[in-house]
A and B are shown apart, each in its own frame.
Chain A
Amino acid sequence: MNWHVVVESKGVLLGGFLVTLQLSFWAILLGTSLGLVVALIRTTHVPVLSQAARVYIDIFRGSPLLMQLFFVYFGLPYLGFEVEKWLAATLALTLYSGAYIAEIIRAGMEAVPKGHREAAASLGLSFYEMMRYVVIPQTITVALPPLIGFYIGLVKDTSLATIIGYRELIRESQGIIDRTARPLEVYAAVAALYFIICYPLSVWSTRLERRSTAHL
């Protein structure tokens, strides 16, 4: 083993790491916002809208993320929208994660007993207040552990953005390997860097699960 190559390229690796971190952050933030909106549309049963939400979920859960990255990056220019790599990667990951997150949140919402909504309504709460103070807090307790599990997967899925040439961690490590021919050391370092992002998430998830069962 020659760890020297890793130390030598630490600047490049760190740069890739920060790009991956940034991409993960935006995919999680935007994907969750989109997922929440889609879940709300799905559960309110507004005719055309909720069917559109259904179709969106089916398409993006039913096709590989790799294809979605291709279609966003190569497809949008056909329609007259030039997209930069970072934008294409963020957009594809947002659309992809939004579909999964919508279903996780919807399942969490449906776990809230109907009686709680009726009790909230009978107390005079508006739809918004019922969602904000009764349904969503309970949904978070139920949905957060599976949601974080999905986030961990999403962080690792950001590596697929390398396919459109986005210079995130994998892409940068590829470059180092091409130069140094030391794949094992470089990949070990890359794995460790992903671990640094994912491990805190899984610790958080375990802690939440313990807390949510604490007063039940």
Chain B
Amino acid sequence: MIILKNVHKRFGNLHVLRGVDLNVRAGEVVVIIGPSGSGKSTLLRTVNHLEPIEKGEIWVDGIPVHQQKDLRTVRSKVGMVFQQFNLFPHLTALQNVTLAPTLVLNRTKEEPASKAMALLKKVGLEQKAQAYPPQLSGGQQQRVAIARALAMDPKIMLFDEATSALDPELVGEVLGVMRQLAADGMTMMVVTHEMGFARDVADRVVFMDDGVVMEEGKPEQIFANPQNPRTKQFLSRVLEK
């Protein structure tokens, strides 16, 4: 479903991605962990071409993203959820969800609206459909953002530290929605600091450091028996909290 081959990316002199290879199969949940500055968020953002790459290849569902072709198609197949939610504050929760399907998929007004209500119900917010984002809590905003991404019927969902900006007591409600999605068979790439989520939900855990994939494997293997010394060091630091 997603193929990354020798992906390189620089910000000025900073070489953030130094040859990343990663494949994600349909229906797989891949969780990317690693210290901040390891390039994991940047990697995620290359998949839907929010970050262009300098070298390497990225294929999403058979489309060569690195050639910058069919970006609209790629982006309509790839949903993304951001750390800062990025809901459109001038639109209601419902309008946030219906905007893209109405414009990009050229659907009539009624169909996206009923589908959006179903999605808001799925994330537990059907009673907030008419609320504006500033009236919602962080957890509620992020759940609307997930519904908004799902409204495009994506084949893949990208989560870029989706719970990092939330108050601790609101993290659970967002992770709950993500677990449900994974259980429904969605192909997911998740960048997170929630090790519990990685352990329970991931089919595969990828550890990144210094712009490369240091180690990958099944969660029980990575967490119980990491091979790379950097992985060991990172896990001992985060798990001891």
Interface residues of A (CB under 8 A from B): 113, 115-116, 118-126, 129, 133-134, 137-138, 141, 215-216
Contact = CB atoms under 8 A, between A and B. Distances in A.
B104 A124 contact: yes
Main secondary structure of the interface of A (DSSP, over half): helix
A120 B75 CA distance: 10
B83 to A, nearest CB: 9
B81 to A, nearest CB: 9
B90 A123 contact: no
B96 to A, nearest CB: 9
B84 A113 contact: yes
A121 B148 CA distance: 13
8 A-B pairs with the lowest CB-CB distances in the bound complex, closest first = A119-B86, A123-B100, A124-B76, A124-B75, A122-B80, A115-B86, A124-B104, A215-B132
Contacts of A141: 90
A138 B149 CA distance: 21
B47 to A, nearest CB: 10
B90 A121 contact: no
Contacts, number: 62
Nearest to A123: B100
Given A129-B103, A133-B103, A122 B75 contact: yes
B180 interface: no
B72 interface: yes
Contacts of B149: 122-123
30 contacts: A115-B86, A118-B86, A119-B88, A119-B145, A121-B75, A122-B48, A122-B50, A122-B79, A122-B80, A123-B75, A123-B76, A123-B100, A123-B104, A123-B152, A124-B73, A124-B75, A124-B76, A124-B100, A124-B104, A125-B99, A125-B100, A125-B103, A125-B104, A126-B72, A129-B103, A133-B99, A137-B90, A138-B89, A215-B134, A216-B89
A123 B149 CA distance: 7
Interface string B84-106: 10111110000000011001100
A115 B82 contact: yes
B36 interface: no
Contacts of B82: 115, 118-119
Contact of B99 (A115, A122, A123, A126): A123
Contacts of A138: 88-90
For chain B, the bracket of interface size reads 20 to 34
Nearest to A122: B80
A18 B90 CA distance: 37
B190 interface: no
Nearest to A129: B103
A124 B103 CA distance: 9
B72 A124 contact: yes
B50 A123 contact: no
A1 to B, nearest CB: 51
B117 interface: no
Contact of B135 (A113, A119, A120, A215): A215
Contacts of B148: 123
B58 interface: no
Given A123-B149, A124-B72, A134-B88, A118 B50 contact: yes
A104 to B, nearest CB: 18
Contacts of A122: 48, 50, 75, 78-80, 149
Contacts of A125: 99-100, 103-104
Contacts of B75: 121-124
Contacts of A118: 50, 82, 86
